């Protein structure tokens, strides 16, 4: 497996629409594994193939309860709306408030070629909408109602704070 380089906002590939995967082969499976490794190494909850420069409809997500590997995912139903604070591995220095559907039904193909469906809510629903946007060249900063710099973690400052307590 290999860790891949994550493209950041400003790279034209992030604005492109990705193509459907026509054939699921060993390369597809390997790529999903590499995407997962890249996501975990970067401590993200999701990664879409265009973020590593590959314009294919492939997404990995793990919101803390296991890995989803999604091939040609599509949202077929949305309900409700929620505002939440989102970040993105391709926008490392910022976060923003984004309005999303509260629940979504998503259909996708798994690595064995089966077409499956998931009804999602909470963080998984938000992650699905965020990652599927990447497949259409959309970043959260394109639809956020507010964008702010991420608080920088300064390990030395944190250490100093701990000592004071
Ligand atoms: Ni993202």
Positions marked active-site:
131
pLDDT digits (tens, 9 = 90+) for 22-53: 999 999 999 999 999 999 999 999 999 999 99
**Gap from CA of 118 to ligand 1 centroid (Å):** 20
The predicted model scores a pTM of 0.91
Whether pLDDT at 134 is above 70:
yes
pLDDT for 39: 97
Whether pLDDT at 15 is above 70:
yes
104 near 129, Cβ under 8 Å? yes
Residue 142, CA distances (Å) to 9, 22, 118, 137 in order: 11, 29, 26, 10
Matching residue, tokens 């064995």: 112
pLDDT band at 156 (very low <50, low <70, confident <90, very high): confident
Residue from 77, 164, 61 nearest 119 by CA: 77
**Gap from CA of 155 to ligand 1 centroid (Å):** 25
**Gap from CA of 115 to ligand 1 centroid (Å):** 24
Domain boundaries, the chain: 12-152
CATH of 12-152, one of 3.50.50.60, 3.40.50.300, 3.90.45.10, 3.30.360.10: 3.90.45.10
């Amino acid at each position: 497996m290999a860790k891949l380089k994550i493209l950041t906002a400003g790279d034209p590939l992030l604005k492109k629409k990705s193509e459907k995967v026509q054939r699921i082969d060993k390369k597809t499976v390997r790529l999903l594994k590499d995407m997962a490794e890249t996501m975990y190494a970067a401590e993200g909850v999701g990664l879409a193939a265009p973020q590593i420069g590959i314009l294919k409809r492939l997404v990995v997500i793990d919101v803390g309860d296991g890995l989803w590997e999604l091939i040609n995912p599509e949202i077929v139903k949305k309900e409700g709306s929620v505002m939440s604070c989102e970040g993105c591995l391709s926008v490392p220095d910022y976060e923003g408030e984004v309005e999303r559907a509260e629940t979504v039904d998503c259909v996708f193909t798994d690595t064995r070629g089966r077409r499956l469906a998931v009804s999602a809510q909470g963080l998984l629903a938000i992650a699905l909408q965020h990652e599927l946007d990447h497949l259409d060249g959309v970043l959260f900063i394109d639809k956020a109602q507010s964008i702010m710099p991420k608080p920088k973690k300064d390990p030395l400052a944190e250490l100093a704070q701990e000592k004071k307590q």
